[in-house]
Amino acid sequence: MAFRLIFTSSPSSLTGSRTGFCTVARSAEMSEKLALFVEKCGTYDHEKMGAHPVFSHRIIWLGDKSYHILSRIIDSGTDYTNRSNYIADHLVLTDDETALLPSPAQAILDFDGWLGSYTDAPRFLGNVEIKKAAQKFAPPASLWGEIFADAGKAALMLSDNVEIRARASDGETLLKMFAQASALCTPSEKAWQYTFTTALCRGENPQDFCWKTFVGENSAPENSAAINLIEKTSLPAPENAAAEYARTANISNRDRLNLKVQRPSDFKPKFKIARQAPEVRREIPQEFKRNMIIVFAAAAAVAAACAIFALMPAKSGGEFEENMQIQKRAYASQTPLSGARPLRDTYSKVRADVKDLVSQARWQEALDLWDGANLQDFNPKARPEILSDMGKKFDAMLVEAEGEIKNSNKAKAAELLKKAEPALQIKDFPHKANRAQMMEGLNSKIKQL
Sort 27 into a burial class: Cβ within 10 Å, 0-12 / 13-18 / 19+: buried
**pLDDT over 90 for what percent of the chain?**
48
- H-type alpha helices, 18-90: 32-39, 46-49
The model's confidence at residue 188, banded by pLDDT at 50, 70 and 90, is confident
Do 53 and 158 lie in one domain? The reply is yes
Residue 323 in domain: no
The model's confidence at residue 360, banded by pLDDT at 50, 70 and 90, is very high
Do 216 and 358 lie in one domain? The reply is no
Do 222 and 362 lie in one domain? The reply is no
Q: Is a pLDDT exceeding 50 seen at residue 384?
A: yes
Do 54 and 192 lie in one domain? The reply is yes
Q: Is a pLDDT exceeding 90 seen at residue 118?
A: yes
Q: Is a pLDDT exceeding 90 seen at residue 4?
A: yes
Rounded to 5 degrees, φ, ψ at 129 are -75, 130
Q: Is a pLDDT exceeding 90 seen at residue 103?
A: yes
Give whichever of 147-161, 303-317, 428-442 has the largest mean pLDDT: 147-161
Residue 300 in domain: no
Domain-ending residue, one of 204, 219, 248: 248
Residue 321 in domain: no
Q: Is a pLDDT exceeding 60 seen at residue 266?
A: no
Domain-ending residue, one of 223, 248, 273: 248
Calpha distance 98→209 (Å, rounded): 18
Residue 335 in domain: no
Do 173 and 51 lie in one domain? The reply is yes
Do 241 and 376 lie in one domain? The reply is no
| Residue bearing the bigger pLDDT, 216 or 52 | 52
Q: What is residue 278's predicted lDDT score, i.e. its pLDDT?
A: 52
User: Cα 193 from chain centroid?
Assistant: 5
Give whichever of 89-103, 194-208, 250-264, 306-320 has the largest mean pLDDT: 89-103
Residues 387-445 pLDDT 10s: 988 988 988 888 888 888 888 888 888 999 999 999 999 988 888 887 888 888 889 88
Name the average pLDDT for the chain: 83
Domain that holds residue 40: 3-248
Do 235 and 354 lie in one domain? The reply is no
Do 355 and 226 lie in one domain? The reply is no
Q: Annotate 154-191 with b (16+ C-beta within 10 A) or e (fewer).
A: bbbbbbbbbbbbbbbebbeebbbbbbbbbbbbbeeeeb
Domain-ending residue, one of 196, 215, 248: 248
Low-confidence winner among 40-49, 306-315, 359-368 (lowest mean pLDDT): 306-315
Residue 326 in domain: no
Low-confidence winner among 2-6, 79-83, 191-195, 343-347 (lowest mean pLDDT): 343-347
Q: What is residue 224's predicted lDDT score, i.e. its pLDDT?
A: 61
Q: What is residue 155's predicted lDDT score, i.e. its pLDDT?
A: 94
Do 243 and 349 lie in one domain? The reply is no
Q: What is residue 288's predicted lDDT score, i.e. its pLDDT?
A: 67
Do 243 and 347 lie in one domain? The reply is no
Residue 278 in domain: no
Residue 428 in domain: yes
Residue 205 in domain: yes
Total domains in the chain come to 2
DSSP letter for each residue of 382-434? HHHHHHHHHHHHHHHHHHHHHHHHHTT-HHHHHHHHHHHGGGGGSTT-TTHHH
